[in-house]
Amino acid sequence: MDEQTVPEIDPAEARLRQERGAVLVDVREPHEHATGHAEGALTVARGELEAAPAHWLPDPGVEVLLICQSGGRSRAAAAVLRGAGYAHVLSVAGGTERWRADALPMAMPTGDLDFYERYARQLQLPEFGEAGQRRLEAARVVVIGAGGLGSPAAFYLAAAGVGTLVLADDDHVDRSNLQRQILHTNDRIGAPKVESAAATLSALNPRVRIEVVPERVTSANIERLLAGADLVLDGADNFPVRYLLNDACVKLGLPLVYGAVHRFEGQVSVFDAGRRRGEAPCYRCLFPEPPPPEAAPNCAEAGVLGIVPGVVGLLQATEAIKLLADMGESLAGRLLHFEALGMRFRETRLRPDPDCPVCARGRPFPGYIDYAAFCAGA
């Protein structure tokens, strides 16, 4: 039988037939069941059911009702079962979505209901699922800077469910920040940025633990700030901190998600030389020496379109989530450029420098330097 000719019934009728003895089978994948399934349904992935229907349905004369997410997979599976000799197979029209909309009883996962409801859309992704969500929940991410890049990045990391966010910034909220630093509000002008950021993030997702460090990042405190981290996100707006972060992450074996903006442009990359010596570049491989100050003015001097750090910060958060959940291909070895006026992205391949003073294979860590003097002398 072709799947287009498989008879369908609505969820209410399916519920009545189930109560009269019909077997309801949810043919979605296991990760989809994390958001709940029709009460009393046998949960068997479509592939498993089609491969060995007799294992799950030993009586070919039983009435079988198949349900999926919206109705397509259940029709296809019903056609296969009918071809295998099951004469009484029906598909539930609209699937679990309609079953839920019709307020029919659902079986929910036991335990932490907030977890399953809050992250339902991520849990439905087969590439991510509950395993990926649990990795995020166990992760500790250090975000350096609660400004233009740190704001959107931290906002989405908190929403996604990163377990612990450490926010380091010694600045205070200024009115000129509000055009791009979305963690802050007008009534918090003058407040420490980390306190303002923590208030916003905790209101968004109280499951996330927020640790605030209202300090300027220096070589004296960097290793304390990064202790126990799984990943570091660079939201700094100055070269001394960028070089310091790079060197510390190489020494400590931590991935560094880099971002920078200038006027209408931005760039993003992942520097993972600390874990992949000789294979992945570090920030110094890209910029062995900082540019002179006049060639790289900050946002206060050159201006910036507010949405640009938003785009770059979201790209940084995306890279962080991929790394933490162990999925996809990271930007390690690639520099992604974004240009807002022409709405263009381009990519530059990066190679590790075999003579890099910090990350060259087999080279011992040279120690921290006076980064302010190093950058001022460029």
Name the nearest CA neighbour of 169 among 183, 159, 158. Answer: 183
CA distance 225 to 219: 10
CA distance 69 to 28: 7
Task: Note the residue count of the chain.
Answer: 378
With tokens 């979605």, the residue in question is 28
Task: Output the CA–CA distances (angstroms, integers) from residue 196 to 173, 187, 225, in the order listed.
Answer: 8, 10, 19
- Centre a 10 Å sphere on the Cβ of residue 35 and count the other Cβ atoms it contains: 20
249 classed as catalytic: no
The dihedral through the CA atoms of 131, 133, 139, 144 has a sign that is positive
Helix axes 150-160, 193-204, angle to 10 degrees: 30
Q: How many CA atoms lie less than 13 Å away from 353 in the CB half-sphere? A: 13
CA distance 341 to 190: 33
288-308: b (≥16 Cβ within 10 Å) or e: eebeeeeebeebeeeebbeeb
Q: How many CA atoms lie less than 13 Å away from 78 in the CB half-sphere? A: 30
CA distance 33 to 27: 10
With tokens 């307020």, the residue in question is 103
* Cβ within 8 Å of residue 224, ≥6 positions away: none
Tokens of 350: 């990066």
8 Å CB contact between 146 and 181: yes
Of 249, 299, 356, 375, catalytic: 299
Counting DSSP H helices and E strands in the chain, the numbers are 16, 15
> Which residue numbers are catalytic?
299
